[in-house]
Amino acid sequence: MDDTYKTITALAEGYYTEKRSRFISYAIPVRTVDEVKAQLARYRKEYYDARHVCWAYMLGADHKTFRANDDGEPSSTAGKPILGQINSNELTDILVIVVRYFGGIELGTSGLIVAYRTAAAEAIAAATIETRTVDEDITVAFEYPFLDRIMRIVKEENPVILSQRFEMDCEMTLRIRKSEAGRLRARLQKVETAYLKEEE
């Protein structure tokens, strides 16, 4: 089961010129559609005098949430080539914006596609790409006498401990790589009186 995905660690910039048209590109790490909207609003405001602010984004480890926008350029000449660069680099949780300042000379459809594709590629090339794991959160509740047994499993399976509460009734929330979650869950369930809370 593939439980990894590639994304960028920080904002990166690119630049491309063609027949006096300037293309300024940004690759931005994002996690949600709301973040995408906030970034788009910010860059539209910053480049209010630009002819076009075109963009594409991809969200989620499953690469199922995406959109591309030509912002007034001829259909499929801007957003689609930008999205193509995101896909060819197998990236997600990313927004790529390309700002165009028109230089007075028409580039034609093929020229636009090349320009937007190249500008997007420049920003992505400047970014630091990292592979991350798809993780799952597991919350386990148990009585205090079973703490040692739970802690032994936690030590052996080595999940990230997100929260823990040790009283008469104890509770821990753990984060582990998705491919290893089933095994951790099965081991925790074997401890008497421990029960897993279904994550909402």
In percent, how much of the chain has pLDDT > 90?
88
Enumerate the β-bridge partners of residue 52: 100
CA distance 188 to 193: 10
| pLDDT score for 194 | 58
Residue-level pLDDT at 160: 95
Mean pLDDT to the nearest integer, 97-125: 96
Q: Fill in the DSSP letter of residue 23.
A: E
Measured in residues, the chain has a length of 200
CA distance 62 to 83: 15
pLDDT at 108 over 90: yes
29 closest CA partner among 59, 61, 64, 69: 59
| Share above pLDDT 70 across residues of the chain, in percent, rounded to a whole number | 95
CB-based contacts of 64: which residues, under 8 Å, 6+ apart?
Answer: none
Residue 30 confidence (pLDDT) above 50: yes
So what's the pLDDT on residue 191? Answer: 84
The two tokens of residue 177 are: 């790589």
pLDDT exceeds 50 at position 87: yes
Residue 168 in this model has a pLDDT that exceeds 90: no
Distances from the Cα of 184 to the Cα of 38, 139, 140, 154, angstroms: 38, 11, 11, 8
137-156 pLDDT, tens digit per residue, is 999 999 888 999 999 999 99
pLDDT at 46: 97
Give the residue from 130, 118, 126 showing the smallest Cα distance to 91.
Answer: 130
Mean pLDDT of 94-99: 98
Residue 1 or residue 68, greater confidence: 68
Q: Alpha-carbon distance 101 to 111, whole Å?
A: 15
Mean pLDDT computed over 156-180:
93
195 pLDDT band (50/70/90 cuts)?
A: low
In this model, does residue 200 exceed pLDDT 50?
no
